[in-house]
Amino acid sequence: MLSTDQLHRLRATLDAAARRREAAELALASKHKGGEWEEFDAAVEAELVAERALAAGQDQSYAVPVELSVLWDTGAPLPHLLQNDHRTFLIFFIRDSDPNWDGSYVSVRRPASSTSACQLAVVEFKGCLSTMMGSPNDEVLHGHPLYGKGLEGYRPMRVENSAWLAEIQRINSVHNGYAPERWHGLSHYFFGFHDSTFECVAESLIVELYESSLPEVLAKVCERLVR
């Protein structure tokens, strides 16, 4: 925990970043002179950085981006979770690279119409101990405990100082063979989609890309689960 003065400076930085983001939002609503979107993006990023710094200074949970080779749409990436006791896979459609996209619409897919070849990501979580998938969706993400602590939707995140990971470790600490050092390499991952959220505790993750239909990819992953 930081000193009172240090925390005060972090709060002041966050307040200033929030005011900058609010001003950038107002500028977007006015007649554009150029550079408004760039300033808005920079202001949002500065606020997220300030949120993470304050949460870290208070020894609270906070979220940081995970750099992956893929991102997903704000529409319906149709995430599918396939797992057993030994392997965990998350499959979803990746973001379309349409050079004519102007940001005014989203691509919505439905399982019944996903039989043609598309770009799909298969993320395998190595050494996965626990998973959660479901609520919240993107409309209520601001109700999540990590919101305001660096959390972003539509991108992979890792939760630092994770309360969930600490709870799982505490539960397992009653085992006769419990070894604290085995838990140091675990991470709490967070993937916020349009209609759902996926979270897990795992050692690491790897990403594979497929140019195929959703049923074909799901069948391939199911084969890997039973090998």
Averages of pLDDT over runs of 10 residues in the chain (227 residues) are: 92 98 94 93 98 97 94 89 97 73 47 68 97 96 96 96 97 95 95 97 97 95 93
Length of the chain equals: 227
Number of structural domains found in the chain: 2
CB of 154 within 8 A of CB of 72? Answer: yes
Q: For the whole prediction, is pTM greater than 0.95?
A: no
Same structural domain, 138 and 92: yes
Same structural domain, 144 and 109: yes
Place of tokens 């949970």: 61
Domain extent for 101: 80-225
pLDDT value for 97: 54
- The reply to whether 66 falls in a domain is no
Q: How far apart are CA 81 and CA 71, in angstroms?
A: 17
- The reply to whether 25 falls in a domain is yes
Same structural domain, 127 and 204: yes
Same structural domain, 38 and 146: no
Phi, psi (5° rounding) for residue 53?
A: -65, -40
Q: Is 156 helix (H, G, I), strand (E, B) or coil?
A: strand
CB of 92 within 8 A of CB of 121? Answer: yes
pLDDT value for 220: 97
Residue 203: CB partners within 8 Å, gap ≥ 6? Answer: 125, 126, 127, 128, 185, 186, 187
pLDDT value for 109: 53
Phi, psi (5° rounding) for residue 223?
A: -60, -40
pLDDT value for 104: 47
pLDDT value for 120: 95
CB of 81 within 8 A of CB of 202? Answer: no
